[in-house]
Structure 1
Amino acid sequence: MSDSTDNTTFDSEDLNFDDFQLEDFKYEAPFQPAPEVQRDLSFFKSIPVTVTLEVASKEIALGDLMKAGEGTVIELDKLNGEPLDVKVNGSLMGHAEVVVVNEKYGLRLVDVLDSALTGVGH
């Protein structure tokens, strides 16, 4: 066995790019996002959602609620005449007041919050 170590040094002048077969190399450009396209989002308009008019709420201890019976009054967090919360699938959409239309309750929106709903379908 030889005690000599094969130390190969690299000299940049030894490098000849003509030796590489670069014409066979296929370059793929990095991912480029597609240009923004106007999409028809009208199908969102037919998706059913649940609209809820929340009069008010109150957080109370379960023990106090268990004591409640017929005739018990629980004070809520809204004042008389204050706009009520309108929720869509549980998320606050805006505020409204109660109206009666054809003997049924309805709501009249008094303000709509800036939300994702305002941008859908525009």
Structure 2
Amino acid sequence: MSEAQQPTAFDADDLNFDDFQLEDFSTESSFQTQASVERDLSFFKSIPVTVTLEVASKEIALGDLMKAGEGSVIELDKLNGEPLDVKVNGSLMGHAEVVVINDKYGLRLIDVLDSALSGVGR
């Protein structure tokens, strides 16, 4: 009959960390450096987004809206000539004014919010 092998007891005192050559361990080759974190973002340039020019809005009671009919006027919250909100996928990107280009509406950006571009390409 063969002897059953007994598992050897592990003693933490038997470990000698000096045997590991940690000084040869290079953090640059094993972990991403700051330079490699800056990635090529060209892949994201082809992802479609929806750009919306929001003229104005108004919060009203549903009952008042149900009374509205053809020819009714609902006063909105922006003044005439005030810059309009530009939204990308529903998030505010900046402000613009309406222009006409080849008989189509367009927008001319007046300002772009810093928060809209934070973290992109940096």
TM-score by length of 1: 0.72
Amino acid across the alignment from 2:39: R
Task: Number of aligned residue pairs: give it.
Answer: 100
1:77 aligns with 2:77: yes
Alpha-carbon distance, 1:68 to partner: 0.2
1:22 aligns with 2:15: yes
1:56 aligns with 2:66: no
Give the equivalent residue in structure 1 for 2:39.
39
Secondary structure (helix, strand or coil) at the match of 2:82 reads: coil
Structure number, greater radius of gyration: 1
CA distance in 2: counterparts of 1:26 and 1:60, whole angstroms: 75
CA distance in 2: counterparts of 1:109 and 1:79, whole angstroms: 18
Q: Deviations over 1:12-59 (max 9, x none)?
A: xxxxxxxx43249987x8xx7632212111111111000000000000
1:108 aligns with 2:108: yes
CA distance in 2: counterparts of 1:26 and 1:77, whole angstroms: 73
Q: CA RMSD in A?
A: 2.4
CA distance in 1: counterparts of 2:109 and 2:59, whole angstroms: 26
Q: Name the CA shift for 1:26/1:77 in 2 (closer, same or farther; >3 Å).
A: farther
TM-score by length of 2: 0.72
Higher helix share: 2
Contact 1:44–1:121 (CA<8 Å) still a contact in 2?
no
Secondary structure (helix, strand or coil) at the match of 1:96 reads: strand
Q: Name the CA shift for 1:63/1:21 in 2 (closer, same or farther; >3 Å).
A: same
Q: Percent identity?
A: 79
Alpha-carbon distance, 1:115 to partner: 2.1
Extract unaligned runs of 5+ from structure 2.
1-12
Secondary structure (helix, strand or coil) at the match of 1:115 reads: helix
Extract unaligned runs of 5+ from structure 1.
1-19
